[in-house]
Structure 1
Amino acid sequence: MDKLQREEAVANKLRLREAIQDKNLIKREIIAGITGFFAISYIIIVNPLILKDAGIPTDLSVFATIISSFVGCLIMGFWANAPVILTPGMGVNAFFTYTVVVSMGLSWQEALAISMVASVIYVLIAFTKLSQVLADGIPDTLKAGITAGIGLFLVEIGLEKAQLIQAGKSSILALGDLTQPATLLAMFGLLLTLFLYIRNVTGGFFIGIFVTSLLGILFGIKDQASPSVGIGDIDKYTQIVLKGDFSHVFSVAFVLAVFSMTMILVFESMGLLEGIMPNPRKFKRAFQASSVTSFLSGILGTSPTVAAAESASAIESGGRTGITSIVAGIMFALSIFFIPLLSFVPQAAIAPVIIITGALMMNQLSRINMFDFSDWFPAFLIVVLIPFTTSISTGLAFGFVAYPILKIAAGRAKELTIATYVLGGLFLGDLVLSALL
């Protein structure tokens, strides 16, 4: 009897330990989801401001941004069980607005149609063997270059939000005014967040955002651009739902835009997911979730959703499962009731997390053979051209074109796959045709 009691006691201790571990796991996932949400929450304000230049009403675009992010995070959480946040992407929204609408002269309704067609192709790739063919056929050096390039792009965005860099008078960039309150607040937030990260404090990014925002409120530091819309305006949102214009679907401009957007969606997502996913086995379903949500975003009236690079902040905070993305999705849903309150989270509080996240993504450079110039230079072009041109598609194009050229020049054509030849040719054609239009 004593033996049975001892065994039962041991079993109870094991069950208690498992319960405690489960609670700690859920707590960590919730903190990671909240951290990831706040790291990317600026998209609720920034995405509508960018799409405004395309002609989409800002007040309505806010709802589209929130709803597409909510739907995307739930799909990612339940379908892929991955800690990845899906939101309208920075870079692809700039392509949507400034390339498709402003430069090419198409309407925002046509841009939505382009987004949906590109996303259908993305879905076909994600749910067929093509995804594996591309994943296996694209060199690791280019995948690493994509992640690192987007990381450097994030660092640039974060430094701008912190006002630590600005447009220079005699140079492209110059140091910002270090006497400005917002800049000083961002520097404090960066030091605090770095300290918490180095010390492995659970929820360090979230704590950094919260403390920095609190100081911003106390010292009256608030961003000027904040949405002037509330939940009462949601009845007008249907004005931008299902507005894609497919009337010029066979025009040269439409086809070129579809190709470029497809390449951005596929390879940005592929490079980013392979770079940040803690569990590579979840890549396939995460890739599929991203493709489906990208298509839905066009229906919902916004530029395509992608895996947010800021998901890395959630992962660094301990996110490992779909609970993280579901929590982030719930936060997006709740934010629709508190849109004006987001203005109390200044860019200076978000900037440190974006900077650190970008820096962490740049550790993918370690996967590139720096001693092989034919490997290094194409990745280098991707890394520098993405932030310098603020165009993910431009960085991808130059990198994918340069890679086969340098391998052939080095007498190592046998290292090339059919995928690298095909994509290199397609990207070259896209660059040429884009320059001629």
Structure 2
Amino acid sequence: MLEKIFKLAEHKTSVKTEAIAGLTTFLTMAYIIFVNPSVLGQAGMDKSAVFVATCLAAAIGCFIMGFWANYPVAQAPGMGLNSFFTYTVVIGMGYTWQVALAAVFLSGVCFILLSIIRVREWIINAIPLALRTGIAAGVGLFIGFIALQESHIIIANKNTLVSIGDFTEFAPAMTALGFFLTVALAHKGFKPAVVFSILIITLISIISGQTPYTGLVSLPPSIAPTFLQLDFSGAMTVGLISVVFAFLFVDLFDTAGTLVAITTKAGLIDKNGKLPRLKKALLADSTATTIGAVLGTSNTTSYIESASGVAAGGRTGLTAVVVGILFLLALFFSPLAGMVPSYATTGALLYVAVLMMSGLANIDWEDVTEAAPVVITTLMMPLTYSIAEGISLGFISYAAIKILSGKAKTVNISVFIIALLFLLKVIFIS
């Protein structure tokens, strides 16, 4: 049966190899089980329900990707998008988390439609690589800035806006330790470096009396506090258009970039340089986002950590299915997730920020017309506390610089169309 579904022989792999690959991928991305409830909890959502929604959305996304698209690509609620959900849409813009969930759902529906009518290729191919890189790096910088704030490594200052915190306090010290430990373990090639560091800091917190011990295993908590809590009436406003677009835009390019990277590493690209079953893979991603919103979590997306499973030999959707099964088993460890303090996850967030900013090395810094918009995009996300604003200002600056420098003909017309829409939004929509 497995051979028929996943074509294991054709991909020169085995059930054992795929199982090991799935376990490897899960261990490298399991941190989301602890981080996502921590981030979305700050939006006012029930952390226990978000924990269940995270595991279920990840499992469903993995099953769709594995059984339908037959790709060794795991899915789960995405980093960056959950930060945008909490810190920009809910805290920054003042919308309720129920409205934000509706915006996530709508972005997923739009993603599905784009995947069906093949507009996605036009969008993906039209957007310059520099802007895609700038967006990823900006999200990373934004995540890092949030982690520094949440851990009190940087604190508010009325004269300079922010200043250094007190490292003799428990939270900053533990964040720093978690970050250093994660980087050191990752450098040594230890796959579950992130989740291991989170657990170590949690253990230290329990031993020191900072966190009460409540157990490790139990039946999953109720998902009722977040299930079907979408507020579409509040989401149908002009001000939410840019939010829906930002959710869609970041998810679309994050997914596309991840799929290209993973399938290339796995040797799944066809002779024409194209991704086989790309439509199914993108539909799997977008469908998982809509389902995740219904369950009660931010956008579900493909994880670049899947590369670890591919490196371990994963070549088919069976790898993703194994990851999905492990996420279901994780449902029974809700007490452990509940004991994880926020400072145990902020070190992990800093590490994720480092990974997301690494793409800046690929920017052509000799061409200032490429580099300048990237810097604008990257800086404006944390400084405006908004991924959406960073994207819009990045597009506007890219289009304006190319026009004024006489390089307009080198840019796809779609970039100017998107930039114009963003400019109108900046001018007419507060």
Common fold: TM-score over 0.5 = yes
**Partner residue in 2 for 1:91:** 83
1:46 equivalent in structure 2: 39
2:56 partner amino acid: I
Q: Structure 1 166/313 Cα, relative in aligned 2: closer, same or farther at 3 Å?
A: farther
CA distance in 2, matches of 1:303, 1:345: 19
Q: SS of 1:222's equivalent? A: coil
1:110, 1:179 → 2: CA distance?
A: 39
Structure 2 CA distance for aligned equivalents of residues 205 and 63 of structure 1: 20
Aligned residue identity for 1:117:
L
User: Secondary structure of the equivalent of 2:42?
Assistant: helix
Aligned partners of 2:126 and 2:414 also within 8 Å: yes
User: Match of 1:411, SS?
Assistant: coil
How does 1:257-406 map onto structure 2 within 5 Å? 257-271=240-254, 273-274=256-257, 277-280=261-264, 281=269, 285-300=280-295, 302=296, 304-307=298-301, 311-312=303-304, 315=307, 325-406=320-401
State whether structure 2 residue 79 is matched by structure 1 residue 74.
no
Q: Give the C-alpha shift of residue 198 in structure 1.
A: 1.9
Specify the alignment match of 1:30 in structure 2: 23
- Deviations along 1:315-352, one digit per CA (max 9) or x if unpaired, are 45857665665455445434443323213333333333
User: Residue 248 of structure 1: CA displacement?
Assistant: 7.7
Relative to total residues, which structure has the larger helix share, 1 or 2?
1
Cα distance, 1:125 vs structure 2? 1.1
Could you tell me whether the CA contact under 8 Å between 2:292 and 2:300 is conserved in 1? no
Question: Which of 175, 195, 218 is the aligned partner of 1:186?
Answer: 175
Structure 2 residue 409 is the aligned partner of structure 1 residue 425: no
Structure 1 gaps of 5+ residues are 1-17
Q: 1:14: which partner in 2?
A: none
Query: What are the superposed Cα offsets for residues 37-81 of structure 1, whole Å, 9 maximum, x if unpaired?
Result: 12452212331431x2xxx66665554444333323333344442
Query: Following the alignment from structure 1 to structure 2, what is the Cα–Cα distance between the partners of residues 111 and 178?
Result: 35
1-side partners of 2:318 and 2:209: how far apart?
35
**What residue is the counterpart of 1:6 in the other structure?**
none
Contact kept? 2:396, 2:420, Cα under 8 Å: yes
State whether residues 48 and 62 of structure 1, in contact with CA within 8 Å, keep that contact through their aligned partners in structure 2: no
SS of aligned partner of 1:279? helix
Task: With the length of structure 1 as denominator, give the TM-score of the two structures.
Answer: 0.77
Is the contact made by 1:77 and 1:324 (CA closer than 8 Å) also made in structure 2? yes
- Could you tell me whether the CA contact under 8 Å between 1:166 and 1:174 is conserved in 2? yes
Alignment of 1:246-265 (within 5 A): 246=232, 254-265=237-248
Query: Aligned residue for 1:148?
Result: 137
Aligned partners of 2:202 and 2:307: how far apart in 1? 22
- Residue equivalent to 2:3: none
Q: CA deviation at 1:386?
A: 1.6
In structure 2, distance between residues paired with 1:223 and 1:400: 48
Whole-Å separation in 2 of the counterparts to 1:160 and 1:287 = 34
Tell me which of 94, 118, 131 is aligned to 1:129: 118
Structure 1 residues 315 and 159: alpha-carbon distance in aligned structure 2, compared to 1, 3 A threshold: farther
TM-score by length of 2: 0.78
- Check whether the contact 2:111–2:252 (CA below 8 A) recurs between aligned residues: no
Gaps of 5+ in 2: 1-11, 270-274
Deviation at 1:266, TM superposition (A): 2.6
Structure 2 CA distance for partners of 1:24 and 1:244, relative to 1, 3 Å: closer
**What is aligned with 2:9?**
none
CA deviation vs aligned residue, 1:169-208 (integer Å, no higher than 9, x gap): 4323222211123333333333332222222234333443
Decide whether the 8 Å contact of 1:31 with 1:206 is kept in 2: no
Indicate conservation of the 8 Å contact 1:149/1:386, yes or no: yes
